[in-house]
Structure 1
Amino acid sequence: MSILITGADGYLGWPATLRIADRTDDRVILVDNFGRREWVEEVGATSATPVSSIDRRLDAAREVHGLSNLSFVKGDLVEKSFVDELLVVHEPDVVVHTAAQPSAPYSQINGERANYTQHNNMQATRNLLWGLEEHDLTNTHFIETTTTGVYGAPEFPIPEGGATMENQGEADDVPFPAMAGSWYHLTKSHDAANLRLAHQQFDIPISDVRTAIVYGTETAETREDDRLKTRFDFDYYFGTVGHRFCAQAVAGYPVTVYGKGEQRKPFISLEDAVEGLAQVALEDPDDRPEGLTVYNQVTRAISIVEIAETIADVGSEFDLDVAVKHFENPRDEDETHKMEIENDRYADLIGGQNQTFEEGVRDIFETLTRYDDTIESYEDRFLPSVLVDE
């Protein structure tokens, strides 16, 4: 038995690799081309936590956790010949596909980066799916982290996967329409459609894990040694809103909320996201749902203003005097949108929320206060213009 994990050097992929490898004796093959490291450097940013080389990470995994079942392959999934060789040599029973250019802002910089994002993300997924078909590996369980961003922000509760469409008195279950708001998010909408098509045409068992905004710096495995730390991006392009707010607080700036900030976004802690991927990857084939299963990998929706206020409250535990300031909203958005998103299937999978947002923020501050010099050195990469212009 073997498990292939793509994007295994990434923010989510690396800690997921550690947990999966720790719970199985199967061979776990890590695949990455280190693109995330290059993209972050390209926009003039860095990870707040020092990111060890893959060799040091693997050494630490063996020394600290006794993980002797890990091996690494460097390669680009956009190259079909590489994917073909990878699948033929390793014949994986499970593929956990976390590799992607994951930043919506990066994909919006210009046409070149939009094209790159779409080509990179969708070509990699298609190569893997077609590779399984062409090399007689259609029993392989294919798991991909797509995104809750494929749903957009509808006014009605978001289902866990499909939707029911009614017309002229007739109704049928259909895939949820692509309502993505960026060139990146649209790649995952296309991936979701291609996953469905691959299941229909090739009968590959598929788990479409639609991942919410992930926050946090640690999992049970990464806490044990600094060499095992995952990356933590806090810049405008690759840092999520909660991470940027925490960076502002550590650097001594107020947390900025545009408008009322009552709009809610779907969130999940790094700990809970890793647990979900491990549960799906290691599920007994006899117990796993048949066909294509969609999971909304989210534990709750949180408003922007609640994020800011929680960061301010937790920051006081670290002797940080964090103010929350509201500014006129330059964006065209509903500042009071009350997103509702169903997650029953996912909650059952992980046994409910294992880390609260407050606990995740505490983790972040414990990490970032160790690397406050890095945060302050790169403050031009995350400070919003309303603070720069003050």
Structure 2
Amino acid sequence: MSILVTGGDGYIGWPTALRIADRTDDRVILVDNFARRGWVEEVGATSAVPIMSIDQRLAAAEESLGLSNLSFIEGDLTEKSFVDELLTVHEPRAIVHTAAQPSAPYSQINGERANYTQHNNMQATRNLVWGLEEHGLTDTHFIETTTTGVYGAPTFPIPEGGATMENQGERDEVPFPAMAGSWYHLTKSHDAANLRLANKQFGIPISDVRTAITYGTETEETREDNRLKTRFDFDYYFGVVSHRFAAQAVAGYPLTVYGKGEQRKPFISLEDAVEGLAQLALADPDDRPDDLTVYNQVTRAISIVEMANTISDVAQEFDYDAAVKHFENPRDEDETHKMEIENEKYMALIGEQAQDFESGTRDILTTLARYEDTITAYEDRFLPSVLED
């Protein structure tokens, strides 16, 4: 038996593969084409944490964690012939699909990047679900990390699944409307629709895991060996807001909050994200849903200003003077939006939150303090224009 983890060289995919391999005797096969490394280099950035080659990573997993059931296959999931061979040879019982171009800003650079992002992300997903149908593998549990970004920022509580629509006195549950705000986020809206269709037409059990903004540098497994560390992006294109704020603190700059900064965003720690994906991948067929199930992969919503204040407070423990400063907001957004998002099904998977934002921030700054020279050398990649000389 085998489990595939696509995007197995990535920020979430790599530690997820380690967690799964540690809990099963099944062969865990990582699939990647190393595109993320290329995208980050293309925008003139780098991972703060040195990333080992895949061979070094696999060797460390066996030496430090005793994992001899990890394998790696290099290939492009947008190539149907590659996907066909992958599924024919390995016949996975589960696929954790974390492979995608994940950056909204990257997808917005120009039409070429927008086209690339949409082709790359949607073609890979279509090839995988159609491959399962065409190779008689419709019992395979397909788990995809989409994004909470498909919801936009509605004023009502976001459900964990569909929405209820009422018209002329009749009510029915319908798919949540695509309210994505970038060409990247729209790929995940399309994926969500395609996954729904694949479940309806092919009967594939599907878990649509809508991933929140993910923070942190460590999981239980990556702490064991420096060669096992996952990547940490802190630039404008691939670094999430909490990681960029942490980089500003390390580089000696204030944390920039636009406007009031009271708008809340959904967050989850890397540890809690990995745990949920592992639980789904290892679920017994008799216990997992046979239908399509949506999970909001979020532990809580945090306001931008609360996040900045927390990072500022923790930074003082590391002797970084990182004051929070408010600037006029150049964006057209509700600075007081109080996002509410349901997460009961996801919390049932992980049991309880393993890492809160404060402890995650402490992990981040512990890591970045080791690589302060890298942060300062690339500060032009993350500093907002209001701080530029």
With normalisation by structure 2, the TM-score equals: 1.00
Partner Cα separation in structure 2 for residue 140 and residue 283 of structure 1: 11
**Structure 2 spans left out of the alignment, 5+ residues:** none
2:324 paired with 1:288: no
2:160 paired with 1:160: yes
Cα deviations across residues 121-161 of structure 1 (Å, max 9, x unaligned)?
A: 00000000000000000010000000000000000000001
What does residue 382 of structure 1 align with? 382
- Which amino acid in structure 1 is aligned with residue 63 of structure 2? E
What does residue 172 of structure 2 align with? 172
Cα deviations across residues 158-215 of structure 1 (Å, max 9, x unaligned)?
A: 0001010000100101110000000000000000000000000000000000000000
1:230 positional shift: 0.1
- Which amino acid in structure 2 is aligned with residue 94 of structure 1? A
Give the stretch that moved more between structures: 346-355 or 232-241. 346-355
Give the alignment of 1:16-165 within 5 angstroms.
Answer: 16-165=16-165
- Which amino acid in structure 1 is aligned with residue 74 of structure 2? K
- Which amino acid in structure 2 is aligned with residue 235 of structure 1? D
Contact 2:146 2:209 in 1 (8 A): yes
What does residue 189 of structure 2 align with? 189
Calculate the aligned-residue CA RMSD, in Å. Answer: 0.5
1:290 positional shift: 2.5
1:363 positional shift: 0.3
1:353 positional shift: 1.1
What does residue 339 of structure 1 align with? 339
After TM superposition, where is structure 1 displaced by more than 3 Å over at least 4 residues in a row?
none
Partner Cα separation in structure 2 for residue 288 and residue 123 of structure 1: 26
- Which amino acid in structure 1 is aligned with residue 124 of structure 2? A
Partner Cα separation in structure 2 for residue 172 and residue 18 of structure 1: 41
Partner Cα separation in structure 2 for residue 170 and residue 357 of structure 1: 42
SS in 2 for 1:201: helix
Cα deviations across residues 347-366 of structure 1 (Å, max 9, x unaligned)?
A: 11101211000000000000
- Which amino acid in structure 2 is aligned with residue 248 of structure 1? Q
Partner Cα separation in structure 1 for residue 169 and residue 353 of structure 2: 39
1:322 positional shift: 1.1
What does residue 299 of structure 1 align with? 299
What does residue 329 of structure 1 align with? 329
SS in 2 for 1:284: coil
Partner Cα separation in structure 1 for residue 254 and residue 95 of structure 2: 42
Partner Cα separation in structure 2 for residue 315 and residue 82 of structure 1: 46
What does residue 255 of structure 2 align with? 255
1:289 positional shift: 1.9
Cα deviations across residues 235-256 of structure 1 (Å, max 9, x unaligned)?
A: 0000000000000000000000
Identity of aligned residues (%): 83
Partner Cα separation in structure 2 for residue 365 and residue 160 of structure 1: 32
What does residue 371 of structure 1 align with? 371
**Structure 1 spans left out of the alignment, 5+ residues:** none
SS in 1 for 2:371: helix
1:321 positional shift: 1.1
Partner Cα separation in structure 1 for residue 224 and residue 294 of structure 2: 33
Partner Cα separation in structure 1 for residue 107 and residue 161 of structure 2: 25
2:350 paired with 1:311: no
SS in 2 for 1:142: strand
Partner Cα separation in structure 2 for residue 231 and residue 111 of structure 1: 27
The number of equivalent residue pairs is 389
Contact 2:204 2:290 in 1 (8 A): no
SS in 1 for 2:146: strand
Partner Cα separation in structure 2 for residue 152 and residue 72 of structure 1: 36
Cα deviations across residues 284-326 of structure 1 (Å, max 9, x unaligned)?
A: 1111122111100000000000010000000011111111000
Partner Cα separation in structure 2 for residue 144 and residue 46 of structure 1: 26
Partner Cα separation in structure 2 for residue 215 and residue 275 of structure 1: 14
Partner Cα separation in structure 2 for residue 26 and residue 320 of structure 1: 45
Partner Cα separation in structure 1 for residue 317 and residue 16 of structure 2: 29
SS in 2 for 1:220: coil
What does residue 244 of structure 1 align with? 244
Cα deviations across residues 89-141 of structure 1 (Å, max 9, x unaligned)?
A: 10001000000000000000000000000000000000000000000000100
